[in-house]
Amino acid sequence: MTDVDVLIVGAGPAGLAAALEVRRAGLSVEIIEQRETIGGAIYRQPIAGVRPVRQATGAERRWRALADDFAASGIPVRHACVFVGIDGAGLVLIEDRHAGKIRKVAARGVVLAVGAVEKVLPRPGWQLAGVSTAGGLQVMMKETGRAPGGRVLLAGNGPLLIAVAAQMAKLRNPPVAIIEAGDPIRRFAAGIGLCAYPELVTEALSYLQTVHLHRILWMRAALVARIERREKGLLRAVVRDVRGREHVFDVDRIGLHDGIRPNEFGLPLETAKDASLPVILRAGDCREALGAKAAIADGRRAAGEILERLAGAGWRQVREIARLRRAQDVLARLFQPVDGADPLMRLPDETILCRCENRTVGDLRRLCAGPDTPSGREVKHNGRFAMGSCQGRFCADNTAALMAAPGPDRPPPSPEDLTGRRWPTRPLPIGAFVAAHAEETIPEDEQQD
């Protein structure tokens, strides 16, 4: 029995684009989305009664076209539903948070389009209250229509910091400064390469103009060396520039950002062409983090590939994705940190690495100091790294990188050595399983909603 031909996980730009293409081809399609609105993080919709925060003109135009097409399609969306995994029988397991139950869906194909996650490198004091991700501040602004209150410092690496600063300024609370590890102004050659992508140049100039008009300090080739708690709830950020000089900022909040990476935590692998159903594909930033425009193109690519497998007639859309991949490569060179040293290797021992379990860099170094480097599983169980409530979602990458340092001649560990790859993709309430079991075992004429 098949409930739907294609199930899309995630109602961001990649998921919506994939669903539209599948529907146009005549196959049945549904979307599951953990939030009550569509759009994902990049096109996060405001809460009821709040005016949307204006984005760059190109981004607004892309979203309006995609949202209008989707509204006209009539494609059903199961809101407040979280992807749990795919069981041995090939059924997709979903946590229906409205019903408080685990649902099972039989699908011929599954497209995973769950976006990207923000990458944040550990720094002394990064675990303190009042320190969050810059992307988290941006999402909050999109939902509430208000800038974060108080004095805010943005720090890390990449163009998102400029975008967040510009959006804060338009909402009448510009940040006190942007601390950028790179120095794009001095990377002239990379900047010239960006001219091949006029849509990116237009968007960047718009943000930079806002930053300049509001006289926001943009300190380049600098990094936050440590964060300290001060009196009256203030945070002190000690910033070190490329010459080794230290600068102090006393603020109420700090937003950190060091890039993005695919949100692939716990996801099942894509299935080979000769695998049994369901066909599993990834689309958008959870396959390759290239931004919203590329996510739309990659959603269409995934739809074409799944149609080729299920219906024997599909298409491949790779040229636009390759072009946008080159654009991201240019941005990476433009914002490449000036200090080429690995920031993880120079962290002091007292730096918190795993925030869930309060485990430090020193704890990991001592655990790996012996002649035999422990495996990821041993580090997890003996050191409790990646053992907390996030199950390594935020610390596994950094832990694996630090584990590799003592033994460069050995095969480097991967984050999955600590986390594994199995369902559920996240902790679930036992009651949801119990409710699902009761629903299956009680006769239909005795069930009550």
* Largest Cα span, the chain: 76
Structure confidence by residue, pLDDT tens digits, 360-386: 999 999 998 877 778 888 899 899 998
Q: Which of 294, 299, 322, 263 has the alpha carbon at shortest distance from 59?
A: 294
Strands 217-219 and 177-180: parallel
Is the CB of residue 354 less than 8 Å from the CB of residue 385? Answer: yes
Rounded Cα distance between 78 and 94, Å, is 10
Provide the 8-state DSSP code for 146: S
pLDDT of residue 285: 97
Between the CA of residue 413 and those of 298, 327, 373, 392, 419, what are the distances in Å?
Answer: 29, 30, 10, 14, 11
Which residue matches tokens 């041993």?
A: 378
Query: Is residue 1 pLDDT above 60, yes or no?
Result: no
Q: Is the pLDDT of residue 94 over 60?
A: yes
How far apart are the C-alpha atoms of 81 and 78, rounded to whole Å? 6
Inter-residue contact 177 to 219 (CB < 8 Å): yes
Is residue 240 classed as helix, strand or coil in its secondary structure? Answer: strand
Mean pLDDT of 171-199: 92
Q: Which CATH number fits the domain 4-117+261-312, given the four candidates 1.10.3720.10, 1.10.10.410, 3.40.50.620, 3.50.50.60? A: 3.50.50.60
C-alpha to C-alpha distance for 385 and 371, rounded to whole angstroms: 20
323 alpha-carbon distance from chain centroid: 22
- Contact criterion met (CB below 8 Å) for 159 and 389: no
> What is the rounded distance in angstroms from the CA atom of residue 176 to the CA atom of residue 218?
9
Superfamily of domain 120-258 in CATH is FAD/NAD(P)-binding domain (3.50.50.60)
pLDDT at position 298 over 80? yes
pTM of the model: 0.92
Query: How does residue 442 score in pLDDT terms, banded at 50, 70 and 90?
Result: low
Write the single-letter amino acid at 398.
N
pLDDT digits (tens, 9 = 90+) for 233-270: 899 999 999 999 999 999 999 999 999 999 988 888 89
Q: What is the pLDDT of residue 54?
A: 80
State the alpha helices, DSSP H only, in 28-122. 57-73
Give the pLDDT confidence of 9-68 residue by residue, as tens digits. Answer: 999 999 999 999 999 999 999 999 999 999 999 999 999 888 888 888 888 899 999 999
- The residue with greater pLDDT, 365 or 424, is 365
For the ranges 151-155, 194-198, 204-208, the one whose mean pLDDT is highest = 151-155
Q: Indicate whether 193 pLDDT > 90.
A: no
Under 8 Å CB-to-CB from 411, ≥6 apart: which residues?
A: none
pLDDT of residue 443: 56
Lowest mean pLDDT: which of 235-244, 263-272, 388-397, 422-431?
A: 422-431
pLDDT at residue 448 greater than cutoff 60: no
- Asked if residues 338 and 331 have their Cβ atoms less than 8 Å apart, the reply is no
Which part of the chain is CATH 3.50.50.60?
4-117+261-312, 120-258
Q: Is the pLDDT of residue 412 over 80?
A: no
Cα separation, 135 vs 168, whole angstroms: 12
Lowest mean pLDDT among 54-63, 216-225, 251-260, 314-323: 314-323
Total count of residues recorded for the chain: 449
Kindly indicate the confidence band of residue 78, based on its pLDDT and cuts at 50, 70 and 90: very high
How much is the average pLDDT of 205-234?
A: 95
Angstrom distance (rounded) from CA 307 to CA 5: 10
Percent pLDDT > 70 in the chain is 93
* Predicted confidence band of residue 435 (pLDDT cuts 50, 70, 90): confident
Residue 183 in this model has a pLDDT that exceeds 80: yes
End-to-end C-alpha distance for the chain, whole angstroms: 24
Separation of alpha carbons 177 and 219, rounded Å: 7
Q: What is the pLDDT at residue 277?
A: 75
Of 302, 437, 343, 420, which is closest to residue 25 (Cα–Cα)? Answer: 302
CA–CA separation, 183 and 177 (whole Å)? 15
